[in-house]
Amino acid sequence: MVKEQQIRKPWLAALLNLLLPGLGYVYTGKRVGFGVGILFTSLILFYGVPSSAISNILWLDSFIMALLFAYDGYRTAEEVNLKK
């Protein structure tokens, strides 16, 4: 018995990657190891950096990276859906 794969919603993959970079990859099932690594790195950056002028720069950098990961998560979900 072959299990039918689910269609992944690109907007959801983008939103998950925007909220927590890496989570969108776990959702799509593609690049899961990369997604988990990015997820742990993001959590360390978000919660492990003390408040200072440097942390403001890191927050901006993290936000830009999250936008880029959101876009890539969207494209990854579309790619996964095309292979079905």
> Residue 5 falls within a domain, yes or no?
no
| DSSP string computed for 60-76 | HHHHHHHHHHHHHHHHH
pTM: 0.63
Q: How far is CA 67 from CA 4, 8, 51, 72, in A?
A: 31, 19, 22, 9
> Residue 61 falls within a domain, yes or no?
yes
Q: Per-residue pLDDT for 3 more than 70?
A: no
> Residue 28 falls within a domain, yes or no?
yes
> Residue 2 falls within a domain, yes or no?
no
Domain count within the chain = 1
> Residue 63 falls within a domain, yes or no?
yes
pLDDT tens digits, one per residue of 20-68: 888 888 898 888 888 888 888 777 766 766 666 566 667 777 777 788 8
Tell me how far apart the alpha carbons of residues 16 and 30 are, in angstroms, rounded to a whole number. Answer: 14
> Residue 70 falls within a domain, yes or no?
yes
| pLDDT score, position 1 | 43
> Residue 50 falls within a domain, yes or no?
yes
Mean pLDDT of 6-31: 87
> Residue 54 falls within a domain, yes or no?
yes
| Domain span at 32 | 10-82
